[in-house]
Amino acid sequence: MASPSPGPREVLAPSPEAGRRVATSSSSRGGLLWRLRDKQPRLGLFEIGPGHELHRLTCMMQAGLWAATQVSTDHPLLGPPTEEDFSEVMTQVLEGFELGTLAGPAFAWLRHSLGLAEKDYQASLGPGGPYLQFLSTSKSKASFFLSHDQRFFLKTQRRKEVRALLAHLPRYMQHLRRHPHSLLARLLGVHSLRVARGKKKYFIIMQSVFYPASRISERYDIKGCEVSRWVDPAPEGSPVILVLKDLNFQGKTIYLAGPQRSWLLRQMELDTAFLRELNVLDYSLLVAFHCLHKDERGPGSSLVLRTVRSVQGVQSQDEPRTQNRRLLPEAPNALHILDGPDQRYFLGLVDLTTVYGLRKRLEHLWKTLRYPGRTFSTVSPARYARRLYQWVEAHTE
């Protein structure tokens, strides 16, 4: 598998003062309050303020990302990324740490193609407000964060996962060009961070599928199997945010207008076929529910009319049917939103870096013996893709 670039290009951060400001920033809330909040036994969202064990790390991430985005702002790409752009590694030296930006020009071009302004990206991820820690139900040892406005999702990754992602990046971007309304999560950046001579930590940035989150009532992480796919729900009326799993979804249905369901099934077919070609598995379909207000639904509502038109009548010679385009809703994060008669659904495919290599093949054999007759996540990419598509087919009307 291809590795990232042969050597770093070291530059100085454009604004070291930003790093100093964020590293010494404080909040009116005391450290004791943060420690008490962190002791909550359930999972959810927590602001990472002074006193939080990850406060220093996230301050460095914010300062580093501010500096990295300033470079792409000052030196915009004039055309599509080249082979060298995909392998570039830029190292910026800030006060007390180094931030690496991998394939920076390629990701800057991807952000540009999505209509995301670099200044907005910088404002969300920079020192404008504390990151939120998302305590996941995932079994991985990764750390999960949200930008202060919850628009972007950050996740720590192992080095081999980063290498797989970068090896697949040109094909990933080509897939998004061919299918601009794909359900694949939009990856926006890959970085490393090292303090002094310590070990590098890698993290990725992507658009949050669950944005805007203010009216989301239920969240699910779906893999299309049953082993280890149950989460104890939060008590009724609890403000705690939980992402539930496959077995929690039993008895529920995603209700869509006819054209919307047809579009969704076709896009799942296209996206899972692509992931099968990459030889990856263990990805998830994120699903969230958001109840529409009365004035947003019904036969006369503009939302429903847009739903009906979303697949019909939008194809043209410039937009061939093979692209599977739809008319997007007038909402932030429209690429991950589908409107039904009564509900708005947030949908996106995430965690695209697990390759079906020797370790996963051995894990498949072990789980076959451990869980006879039951479905589990570690199966061949072809079977995984087919099973997740069948889950969507069975749970939509």
pLDDT of residue 40: 36
Reported as a single tens digit per residue, the pLDDT across 185-238 is 999 999 999 998 899 999 999 999 999 999 999 999 999 999 999 999 988 877
For residue 39, the one-letter residue type is K
Give Cα separations from 252 to 202, 208, 342 (angstroms): 37, 23, 14
**Mind giving me the DSSP string for 71-87?**
HHHHS--SSS--HHHHH
Let me know: does 175 contact 43? Beta carbons within 8 Å. Answer: no
87 φ/ψ angles, rounded to the nearest 5 degrees: -105, 0
Distance CA 101, CA 70 (A): 12
pLDDT of residue 23: 41
Distance CA 260, CA 176 (A): 20
What lies within 8 Å, CB to CB, of 393 at 6+ separation is 265
- DSSP letter (8 states) at residue 248: G
Q: Omega into 212 within 30° of 0, i.e. cis?
A: yes
pLDDT of residue 5: 40
Enter the tokens of residue 220: 């699910």
Single out the residue of 7, 13, 5, 12 nearest to residue 122, CA to CA: 13
Give Cα separations from 384 to 183, 278, 355, 378 (angstroms): 17, 12, 12, 8
pLDDT along the chain (397 residues), means of 10: 45 47 39 37 72 94 98 93 97 96 98 96 96 79 92 96 97 97 98 94 97 94 95 85 94 92 97 98 97 76 43 43 87 95 96 94 93 93 98 97
**Mind giving me the DSSP string for 196-243?**
TTS--EEEEEEE-SS-S-TTEEEEEEE-S--TT---PPPPTT------
Give Cα separations from 102 to 73, 144, 165, 167, 218 (angstroms): 16, 19, 11, 12, 35
pLDDT of residue 319: 54
SS3 377: coil
Strands 337-339 and 9-12: unpaired
Give Cα separations from 222 to 268, 327, 346 (angstroms): 13, 25, 13
